[in-house]
Chain A
């Protein structure tokens, strides 16, 4: 049972827009801590996509965006491409645990 809750799977056709939600609580996202998003391809290390809820590292396309409201955050991917098929994880800090927490992960399938 992860501290941050993500849907196990989402899917979309090429060119479409998908969103992945990340729901936390008053001790993490709701407390104002930033949310970070990662993409993980099979057999590789996670890659940082979004940091501090909204910001993209250099090299991440602007068709990926992050948002945050209350105790939840979302990752949106527009213009879906086959290469987007991967597992996605959210991460934040939890004050009651005094440490980082991850969501359970969401598998994105491009139809």
Chain B
């Protein structure tokens, strides 16, 4: 059973960079699949942020593309998300998840991590 666990700071200040890590267990990132980040502002719906293939190819939400970098560290079996120049609008629960290919469903999800953006 693939397990994903998000980790990162409990608070980020406006204009700073939000950095999150997703640790994956019971599956090697280098073996394949596509890995993504999704966020959910409090009381609102889901928003896809972007995804990365095991090959390193990335797909980003056009509305966030200029501020987002998603990468993977296969030696640590971790996925990372960096979002620059954050504002209060970036306050959300951030989930990491797996999908077979970028058009496929997300079949395994992390529990999510709430990241408030506030001074």
Name A's B-contacting residues (CB within 8 A). Answer: 2, 33-34, 36, 38, 44-48, 51-52, 57, 89, 91, 93, 97-105
Query: Does B102 reach chain A (CB closer than 8 Å)?
Result: yes
Say yes or no: B105 contacts A48, CB within 8 Å: yes
Q: Chain B 100-112, CB within 8 Å of chain A: the 1/0 string?
A: 0011111101111
- CB contacts (< 8 Å) of A102 on chain B: these are 38, 45-48
Summed over the interface, the residue pairs from A and B with CB atoms below 8 Å come to a total of 66
- CB contacts (< 8 Å) of A44 on chain B: these are 111
Say yes or no: A46 contacts B106, CB within 8 Å: yes
Q: Chain B 45-84, CB within 8 Å of chain A: the 1/0 string?
A: 1111011000000011110000000000000000000000
Say yes or no: A99 contacts B51, CB within 8 Å: yes
Interface centre among B61, B95, B103 (most CB of A within 10 A): B103
Say yes or no: B105 contacts A91, CB within 8 Å: yes
- CB contacts (< 8 Å) of A57 on chain B: these are 107
Say yes or no: B104 contacts A51, CB within 8 Å: yes
Chain A min CB distance to B68 (Å) = 11
Say yes or no: B112 contacts A51, CB within 8 Å: no
Query: Does B36 reach chain A (CB closer than 8 Å)?
Result: yes
